[in-house]
Structure 1
């Protein structure tokens, strides 16, 4: 009998920890016949750091997994997401959570954690995957496969070497491949907390694509400073309010960005998705950004109806929270949350309550209390120095909340997650 077993090996770390502009990055990659691991320090500050870990399974499918490694003196783990991480002495063990235990052959699973350090913060020298430990550099120069969502992917995928044992030989059974979903586009409409950017502020929409498979294209049309009305009617929203207290439109012509989505040739296609997040700028008391609650719900309905008419599946997202502390507790601070939920119900659209989920994340990361300094420590690694917008590490975790919610709420877009 021949048995294929998953193996994990860690490459020697080739990139040292570098601190520049408040961001420390260290990487380690692994490649063996059966499994690969990528460990990356995504942010580092005095006494603390954040890390992403991606495991790729090149062996037989598994229905549950654990990943173990040794902590260096002075290192610890304080919080984790997409895995349960426990520490006993210097041994750290990450275990799958309910929705990511099954990892097919060739599939990857990712998790992240925040930790502490003193003296130095090295990458681990070895890992164990489901009890199998491999150490040392690879025998051959690896070639890079498709990158994983939050860290570099393993860099070699040679055929696994079977482990002999006594008894008759049985040929391995290859798992049936899962059907590949058809290529789609995910369109995004929102404000600065969602928009694309290469430096702070970095919107979570710029990081969302890393959670999706390669047959998804993300078209992020979020723009900073926009309410839902100024995003839809750019340049046509006046500074004058009517008797109902709403900003007067000089024209009902749509903005170029919404017109591009509605274009029958290059815009929406049946099977695409539209993710909409507004509500942060809409509460402005002055025009042009001001939007009343009823108008806000109506405009969400306009967007959902137009998308559905073209076979596109809309998803509403409540506004992501800034970091506001009440003592040791992060608390909510956005309006238009109930309005977003009500519009979703009225239009038969799934809604992700990112406002509540982001507040819960801030509490799990213990970002409170805070003395008003948003440039250092765990808060500085997550937020720009304004308590509202995100550094890359924070944006990536917010995007991860969306990915997790898609699975938890059985929203069909989850079929396109890595």
Structure 2
């Protein structure tokens, strides 16, 4: 590809002018701006020779450092905004770019990694802070390779008001799974402002499939080794999230953590890798279609010691990251963050007594479930990652 891109675009996201009506306390639905359509301009070629793009074409501008893509965004209120950039990079190396907001670097050297082919389009999602009124968002390539082929940019501009944080997961997330067992979801509100409401629909003992379909998942496997469904009707908890009136709305957040019970070899909890990806993708896409912000969370680690070191314990890590890359949903690696925390607290070596000492104060009777104090620390890891990764929920952190 000898020609690459300089895209200098001024895109006004004036919601009222676009005819978008926002309910009080919600965020505007993401607005798409095609790279090939005015007012966007492309210093190169508008092409349509690589299938899979949106609209009538894509921008293939010149190879050059500094050949930037710039958009002007009007936000009705200050706060965090989600920016989705759809691109293809059929080369063999990343095409990094600084992302500048109002002239200041918000994400330095953000990677636009190879996608495998010029016909393979992916979405890169970033969170930036916008001022009320007009803002500029500029993608400034830092190498001679320039930017990747650009299909479109979407911006979910912030509004003032309240948000709902929806949680889907197992007992390590649930409010309570018996006596002193507390999931990190119950403690999450301690880190959020009063403008954020947590709706915790996590349920103990569930895989992603049993959480979605509950008793419709049978104890029989099909020829592919997956548990057979007696019905494709969703469980009430997922139906509630999908409810057009009272469920997820634009500007809300959906945190999804599974991967502990899914590793069972027997039905109904068993979920294979491909099915796991499929179901996570279904949940992520449902949130995105409603203008909500999905966040994938790798399964929190159990405590397992190898001498004086806490070691990784969970599966479905690769699958979770795969879905994140394919959908553009951010991933919080709670698995790594949690066993790293155990090491910082020097939980290992451990004699197996969960009734006393620092481990007993953190874990409830076993190596998997938490006391309230432990759950609060795990919730702290989640919210620190939200802040560090500049996710949309960061606008609601205390």
Q: TM-score range by the shorter chain?
A: 0.5 to 0.7
Pick from 190, 205, 227 the counterpart of residue 225 of structure 1. Answer: 205
Give the superposition deviation at 1:337: 1.2
What are structure 2's unaligned runs of at least 5 residues? 1-157
Q: Does 1:415 align with 2:385?
A: no
2:173 maps to: 194
1:393 maps to: 373
**What secondary structure sits across from 2:262 in the alignment?**
coil
Give the number of the structure whose alpha-carbon radius of gyration is greater.
1
User: How far apart, in 1, do the equivalents of 2:372 and 2:339 lie?
Assistant: 18
Give the superposition deviation at 1:341: 1.0
Q: Does 1:341 align with 2:341?
A: no
Q: Does 1:317 align with 2:297?
A: yes
Q: Does 1:254 align with 2:234?
A: yes
Pick from 278, 293, 298 the counterpart of residue 298 of structure 1. Answer: 278
Per-residue CA shift, 1:119-156, capped at 9, x if unaligned? xxxxxxxxxxxxxxxxxxxxxxxxxxxxxxxxxxxxxx
2:225 maps to: 245
Q: Does 1:358 align with 2:338?
A: yes
1:280 maps to: 260
Instruction: Flag the structure with higher helix content.
Output: 2
User: Contact 2:293–2:392 at 8 Å: present in 1 too?
Assistant: no
Correspondences of 1:13-28 after superposition (within 5 Å): none
Give the superposition deviation at 1:181: 3.9
**What secondary structure sits across from 2:263 in the alignment?**
coil
**Equivalences, count:** 240
User: How far apart, in 2, do the equivalents of 1:403 and 1:305 lie?
Assistant: 23
2:161 maps to: 182
Measured on the aligned residues, the alpha-carbon RMSD in Å equals 1.2
**What secondary structure sits across from 2:168 in the alignment?**
strand
**What secondary structure sits across from 1:268 in the alignment?**
coil
Give the superposition deviation at 1:268: 1.0
User: Contact 1:181–1:415 at 8 Å: present in 2 too?
Assistant: no
Give the superposition deviation at 1:180: 8.5
User: How far apart, in 2, do the equivalents of 1:372 and 1:323 lie?
Assistant: 10
User: Contact 2:186–2:200 at 8 Å: present in 1 too?
Assistant: yes
Give the superposition deviation at 1:385: 1.2
User: Contact 1:199–1:391 at 8 Å: present in 2 too?
Assistant: no
Per-residue CA shift, 1:143-194, capped at 9, x if unaligned? xxxxxxxxxxxxxxxxxxxxxxxxxxxxxxxxxxxx9842010000000000
User: How far apart, in 2, do the equivalents of 1:295 and 1:395 lie?
Assistant: 29
**What secondary structure sits across from 1:208 in the alignment?**
helix
1:374 maps to: 354
User: How far apart, in 1, do the equivalents of 2:301 and 2:355 lie?
Assistant: 18
TM-score in terms of structure 2 length: 0.59
Give the superposition deviation at 1:414: 0.7
User: How far apart, in 2, do the equivalents of 1:313 and 1:340 lie?
Assistant: 16
User: Contact 2:211–2:235 at 8 Å: present in 1 too?
Assistant: yes
What are structure 1's unaligned runs of at least 5 residues? 1-178
**What secondary structure sits across from 2:214 in the alignment?**
coil
